[in-house]
Amino acid sequence: MVMMKVANNFETTAPDIAFFEPRIPGNTGAAIRLTAVTGSILHLIEPLGFDMTEAKLKRAGLDYHDLAHVVMHKNFDEFVGYVKPTENDVRIIAFTTTATRAYNSVEYNSKDVLLFGPEPDGLPRDVIDDERVDFDVRIPMRTGLRSLNLANSASIALYEAWRQGDFVGGV
């Protein structure tokens, strides 16, 4: 069964993306563009490592800022309170290099929130282990390398989830 939602007046099967304490404006700008073209919602969990008016953020997002749905949260608890996982069947899925489960082994749905940590450190252990996070997954890469680019990771994950939902809303 394909689960749909409406985000920014756009029907989609793409889940939400959440960036925990992002530090690089260009990655967040790219995520704004990503969520605009998929109809997803971007959650930004403070503190941010930049100002939302920075030129690099605007340049990376091109002219998609007005087409994206971005929700700011003062901290992780406020974010969880907003998405209400226990009330709305929302799953929070943490992406981390320390997970054993691969991202493409999961059956995603539109209510999921894909949670990513900041570069270069990733999600802190207390967030990954938080009881409100359903499970963690990894995107495979070569041994000995630290991580993928944050915006690239979000793109890989979001498009796999949207593909599983038959790209509803896409052309």
> What is residue 49's predicted lDDT score, i.e. its pLDDT?
85
> DSSP string covering 66-98, please?
GGSEEEEESSHHHHHHHH-HHHHT--EEEE-TT
Residue 60 has pLDDT above 70, yes or no: no
pLDDT per residue as tens digits for the range 68-117: 788 999 999 999 999 998 888 899 999 999 999 999 999 999 999 999 99
How many CA atoms lie within 13 Å of 157's alpha carbon, on the beta-carbon side?
34
What domains can you pick out in the chain, each with its CATH number?
12-164 (3.40.1280.10)
Q: Could you tell me the pTM of the whole model?
A: 0.89
pLDDT per residue as tens digits for the range 130-169: 999 999 999 999 988 777 899 999 999 999 999 999 888 7
Measured CA to CA in angstroms, residue 50 lies from 22, 25, 123 at distances of 8, 6, 18
Q: Rounded to the nearest 10 degrees, what angle do helices 25-38 and 150-164 cross at?
A: 10
Per the structure block, which two tokens stand in for 82? Answer: 């907003």
